[in-house]
Amino acid sequence: MIELYTWSTPNGRKVSIMLEECGLPYNVHKINIGTNSEQFAPDYLEINPNGKIPSIVDPDGPDGKPYSMMESGAILIYLAAKTGKFLPKSARGKYDALQWLMFQMGSVGPMFGQAHHFMRAKKDEVPYGSERYGKEAKRLYGVMQRQLEKHDFLAGRQYTIADIATYPWVARHEWHRVDLAEFPHVKRWYDAIGARPAVARGMAVPQPS
């Protein structure tokens, strides 16, 4: 049984969606990052030295021994390799998926996260931050719109870990003040992925107490 350390955020839900899609059994451990302490507890830092969610511990790691992992993108690559699912086998297909996974990890996640911080998390909205990251978030939707105009999924014809990583961030489109009606190809992709039962189950993790 894989141990999943998570909270109700897009980075955590990428991993619960992947575990559901792969049909891997897992136990959920809630790390309430809002306390500003659970993620920094010494025992948790042994698993995730960066003090963030998500993390996993696989009792059956690559060498058959327990293996801990941080960083959601790396976890998705690991689970794809472990199960042979959602990362194409051909070199071209694999690198297409990894490019779009890195686009999510390096741009979509950090920029949308900053937009949320300036637009929502702070008591007094900071217009400079909201404008800067709101504009960048819209630009990134434009990149996805152009890609999805040509392809069913971010990396081409197949549903991959790039889609799994990006979906929970697009699910927060209202938080970064993006109207999906302006990006119809992103909306078509978003609706198709949201209709997958494993995605719905992964998005419901962690269950409220």
Ligand X SMILES: N[C@@H](CCC(=O)N[C@@H](CS)C(=O)NCC(=O)O)C(=O)O
Tell me which residue of 96, 104, 57 sits closest to 79, measured CA to CA.
Answer: 57
67, exposed or middle or buried, with CB in 10 Å at 0-12, 13-18, 19+?
A: middle
**Residue 60 dihedral angles phi and psi, to the nearest 5°:** -115, 70
* Candidate residues 2, 29, 39, 130; the one interacting with ligand X per rule CB under 6 A: 39
> Which among 46-54, 56-64, 126-134, 155-163 is the span making contact with ligand X, rule CB under 6 A?
46-54
Query: Any residues with CB less than 8 A from the CB of 121 and at least 6 apart, and which?
Result: none
Number of residues near ligand X (by CB under 6 A)? 11
Does position 16 interact with ligand X (CB under 6 A)? The reply is no
| Closest residue by beta carbon to ligand X | 52
- Beta carbons within 10 angstroms of residue 62's beta carbon: 10
Q: How far is the CB of 188 from ligand X (least distance, A)?
A: 26
Instruction: Count how many residues are written for the chain.
Output: 209
Does position 33 interact with ligand X (CB under 6 A)? The reply is yes
Does position 114 interact with ligand X (CB under 6 A)? The reply is no
Binding mask 122-151 for ligand X (x = CB under 6 A): ------------------------------
* Candidate residues 2, 4, 11, 69; the one interacting with ligand X per rule CB under 6 A: 11
Query: Which of residues 72 and 114 has its CB atom nearest to ligand X in the complex?
Result: 72
**Spatial separation of the C-alpha atoms in residues 91 and 69, rounded to whole Å:** 25
Query: Which of residues 34 and 127 has its CB atom nearest to ligand X in the complex?
Result: 34
Q: How far is the CB of 40 from ligand X (least distance, A)?
A: 7
Query: Which of residues 97 and 156 has its CB atom nearest to ligand X in the complex?
Result: 97
Amino acid at 74: A
Binding mask 47-86 for ligand X (x = CB under 6 A): ----xxxx----------------xxx-------------
**Spatial separation of the C-alpha atoms in residues 89 and 80, rounded to whole Å:** 11
Does position 9 interact with ligand X (CB under 6 A)? The reply is yes
Query: Which of residues 90 and 207 has its CB atom nearest to ligand X in the complex?
Result: 207
Per the DSSP assignment, residues forming a β-bridge with 26 are 2
Binding site for ligand X (CB under 6 A): 9, 11, 33, 39, 51-54, 71-73
